[in-house]
Amino acid sequence: MSNTYQDLQNSHPCFGGHKNNVGRIHLPVSPGCNIACRFCDRVINDVEERPGVTSKVITPDESLEVLEKALSICPEITVAGIAGPGDTLATDYALQTFRKVKEKFPKLIKCMSTNGLLLYEKADEVIDIGIDSLTVTVNAVKPEILEKLNKYIIYHGRKYEGIEGAEILIENQLKGIKKVAASGITIKINTVLVPEINGGHIEEIAKTVKEAGASIYNIIPLIPQYELADRKAPNCLQIDEARTKASKYIDVFRHCQHCRADAVGVPGKSEYGDRIYQRRLNVKETFSHG
Ligand SMILES: C[S@@+](CC[C@H](N)C(=O)[O-])C[C@H]1O[C@@H](n2cnc3c(N)ncnc32)[C@H](O)[C@@H]1O
Ligand code: SF4
């Protein structure tokens, strides 16, 4: 039986549990991605504090050793999460890792983040493994807005660009969210707020994902980079307005820390990634746009 939304509000830092001094570890086992968000720049480095960044990519077996070490250093960790650095469903490594974690650390909350392209077809596996909390990044529910945020998708071996790719992505996200939510798994939605692109669309996203079964909504301010390097990050007022509009339809999480794909510790309080992943000097290798 997976944790309920109420349980997670006490025990998962991204669902409200941040008040209780609980920690998480992100296991960076998923390097590849099957879509191309125009703002995403996945890199290997030891210094940047943002999603898509990791010091190394590890295997599902290595992740058990990493977890053991992390729990001995930081017993506050209640959540084993996988948030990249790429997409958790683009390769099988994340689901393999969760099966191993479930066996060896049955008390840990299993949490994963996906773009949702393959969520509908992999939903039975996600449910069977007993993922406790699932985050799906939904940046728009209208294809003409999404195509400004996503360049293409690779779906069943074919590349779909622009509106066509955006339509498939939105349809699969919403069908996947409905199916997984109906099984009782708690769903959080991430939206990257790019004021000039989806700033006026937040209410529609919030309403649509709530109707599909999501429980909580997290608006992430854009970090301007890659193709959207010249777009402005939202200011505090814009973020606050977007959150207030969304909260008419769905609970809103307001404490997102823009964590790395290999973060370890209690968000905002402790960070043990240096010790766990033996971070090196300032080495930077881009691997998302080869
Ligand atoms: C790197 S992704 C990995 C998990 C999965 N592929 C996904 O998209 O949900 C983790 C989160 O970082 C967000 N993200 C990536 N680049 C960002 C940026 N430049 N600014 C803000 N959020 C970003 C994504 O939208 C996603 O919600
Ligand atoms: S944000 Fe997630 S889905 Fe989008 S390109 Fe980056 S890793 Fe892939």
Spans of all domains in the chain:
5-280
Instruction: Answer yes or no: is pLDDT of 1 > 90.
Output: no
Instruction: Answer yes or no: is pLDDT of 193 > 60.
Output: yes
Mean pLDDT of the chain: 91
Q: What is the largest CA-CA distance in the chain?
A: 48
pLDDT in the model for residue 58: 93
Instruction: Answer yes or no: is pLDDT of 77 > 50.
Output: yes
**Tokens 């570890």 sit on residue:** 25
With beta carbons less than 8 A apart as the criterion, state whether 168 and 160 touch: yes
Ligand nearest to the CA of 226: 1
Instruction: Answer yes or no: is pLDDT of 66 > 80.
Output: yes
Q: Is 153 helix (H, G, I), strand (E, B) or coil?
A: strand
The Cα 141–Cα 191 span in angstroms is 11
The Cα 166–Cα 100 span in angstroms is 34
Residue of 30, 37, 139 best suited for mutating to test ligand 2, as the one with most atoms within 8 Å of CB: 37
Cis peptide upstream of residue 51 (ω within 30 degrees of 0): no
Centre of ligand 1 to C-alpha 170, Å, is 16
Q: 11-35 b/e with 16+ CB inside 10 Å = b? A: bbbbbbbbeeebbbbbbbbbbbbbb
The Cα 63–Cα 55 span in angstroms is 14
Residue of 42, 115, 194 best suited for mutating to test ligand 2, as the one with most atoms within 8 Å of CB: 115
Name the amino acid, one letter, at 76: E
Ligand 1 atom nearest to 35, measured from its CA: 6
Instruction: Answer yes or no: is pLDDT of 279 > 80.
Output: no
pLDDT in the model for residue 283: 47
- Condensed to tens digits (0 to 9), the pLDDT of residues 78-96 reads 999 999 899 999 999 999 9
Kindly state the average pLDDT of the residues 54-58: 87
CA-closest residue to ligand 2 atom 1: 40
Selection from 77, 116, 39 nearest residue 272 by Cα = 77
Instruction: Classify residue 77 by burial, with Cβ atoms within 10 Å: 0-12, 13-18, 19+.
Output: buried
Write the CATH number of the domain with boundaries 5-280: 3.20.20.70
Ligand 2 atom nearest to 84, measured from its CA: 7
Ligand 2 atom nearest to 51, measured from its CA: 1
pTM above 0.90, yes or no: yes
Confidence of residue 74 (pLDDT cuts 50, 70, 90): very high
Centre of ligand 2 to C-alpha 210, Å, is 22
Confidence of residue 8 (pLDDT cuts 50, 70, 90): confident
Instruction: Answer yes or no: is pLDDT of 230 > 90.
Output: yes
Kindly state the average pLDDT of the residues 157-185: 97
Q: 43-68 b/e with 16+ CB inside 10 Å = b? A: bbbbebeebbbbbebbebeebbebbe
CA-closest residue to ligand 1 atom 26: 137
Computed over its alpha carbons, how large is the radius of gyration of the chain?
17
Whether 190 lines ligand 2, by a CB cut-off of 6 Å, is no
ipTM of predicted complex: 0.98
Confidence of residue 107 (pLDDT cuts 50, 70, 90): very high
Whether 86 lines ligand 2, by a CB cut-off of 6 Å, is yes
